[in-house]
Chains A and B, each alone.
Chain A
């Protein structure tokens, strides 16, 4: 079974600071993918970044990077130089690659950027 845990229900950060959102995953699958999504107050789900379990390098997309530590089963999202528009819910998700492709999400972290 796959399980995603996000232990920070809420975070408050000053604008322009970097922020790390925690995500740990529990899966018995040998191959899997990890995602981060952003959900602003409008409710849409916005894809941010993807990391495959066999990717050698940590994924980066603009101001987003994924700090992937396979041995610790963690896939933390790092947002550099935070902006007011980064205020939103953030969800970590995992999908197994072999077999039926079950995509599961964590509980989410509400990030608030203060001016």
Chain B
């Protein structure tokens, strides 16, 4: 089975902290994605990566950065967490455009 694993299920951080969300996939997928999910807004794409060290901005990249040093790992970084970044964060990976994306279990981040 394809597995996408996010490092934490729940996180509570303070305003201004630097936050790292980690995502690991075990199926040698080229593409990896980070989304945030908010009620009524669906899944909004923050960043995606189509190869090691390659990344592109999604629709809401402000306040976030990413890192992909190894194919299996895609990290989302909140440089200085703010309360409006409180959300559910979902990581996904896919083999290619005709293939479905597989999702992690999500990280519910609360910034206080």
Contacts and interface: CB of A to CB of B under 8 A. Distances in A.
Contacts, number: 64
Interface string A5-25: 010010000000000000000
Nearest to B40: A107
B106 A47 contact: no
Contacts of A50: 98, 100
Contacts of B102: 47
B105 A95 contact: no
A100 B48 contact: yes
Interface string B75-112: 00000000000001010101011101111011000000
Contacts of B42: 6, 91, 105-108
Nearest to A36: B100
B43 to A, nearest CB: 4
Contacts of A47: 100-102
A101 B31 contact: yes
A101 B43 contact: no
Nearest to A48: B100
Contacts of A107: 40-42
Interface string A77-107: 0000000000000010101110011111111
B35 interface: yes
Interface of B: 31, 33, 35, 40-45, 48, 50, 54, 56, 58-59, 88, 90, 92, 94, 96-98, 100-103, 105-106
Interface of A: 6, 9, 33, 35, 43-45, 47, 50, 52, 91, 93, 95-97, 100-108
8 contacts: A45-B90, A52-B98, A93-B43, A100-B50, A100-B54, A103-B101, A105-B44, A106-B42
